[in-house]
Amino acid sequence: GNSVTQMEGPVTLSEEAFLTINCTYTATGYPSLFWYVQYPGEGLQLLLKATKADDKGSNKGFEATYRKETTSFHLEKGSVQVSDSAVYFCALRRGGSQGNLIFGKGTKLSVKP
Amino acid sequence: GAVVSQHPSRVICKSGTSVKIECRSLDFQATTMFWYRQFPKQSLMLMATSNEGSKATYEQGVEKDKFLINHASLTLSTLTVTSAHPEDSSFYICSARDPGGGNTIYFGEGSWLTVV
């Protein structure tokens, strides 16, 4: 079946450190891949997405590349800020644009000044 | 941008009672809304898909009679937890798909339910 596995947290970094949150997936066909972010007290927000192999999604300094050969969609940021502290969810969408999302367990990131 | 509002954000109810959670799309018409549940340290699990004007489609293992979903209008879906028990305590979050916005899915803020 379809599933998403992401690295367990929490992840604690100092400001300006490099961030990687690993995400791998299992899916039939060619799913679209997403990263969502949940800031404290808020709902989930779409951070970035990629809809086909080798696509790179990017937003707010975050990047992730759809790697079909390794079934991965790792999230990276070169220099994190305290304001990046949040829970990050990797997700895939099955069934094309009409499908629902399947999420990983989420990774909590804490950035210290 | 598009906003999905979920209410209440926190609710405490007594065991055996029912509680309703509302999910509204504020500036778009959502033909499809999704309800998720998140257990502590677990992922978001899809409970059901709600289509306006028709019965919800429940995921395997989700009790239809316990988690009543109504999607009576294009901007409102409700989840009613009936005869709540402490094990129903969880974080419930809805999302709505914007068909006019490239099928982008927007999430509500979530609702913390505590059954005592």
Q: A91 CA to chain B: closest CA distance, Å?
A: 10
Q: A32 CA to chain B: closest CA distance, Å?
A: 12
Number of Cβ pairs < 8 A linking chain A and chain B: 42
Q: Do A16 and A79 meet the contact criterion of CB atoms below 8 Å apart?
A: yes
Residue B27 to residue A4: CA distance in whole angstroms: 31
Tens digits of residue pLDDT in A17-74: 999 999 999 988 889 999 999 887 777 888 999 999 999 999 999 999 999 999 999 9
The count of C-alpha atoms lying within 13 angstroms of the C-alpha of B37, restricted to the half-sphere facing its C-beta, is 17
Tens digits of residue pLDDT in B53-108: 888 999 999 999 999 999 889 999 999 999 999 999 999 999 998 888 777 888 88
The three-class DSSP label of residue B62 is coil
Out of A43, A97, A102, closest to residue B107 by CB: A43
Residue in A32, A88, A101, A107 to test binding to B, most B beta-carbons within 10 Å? A101
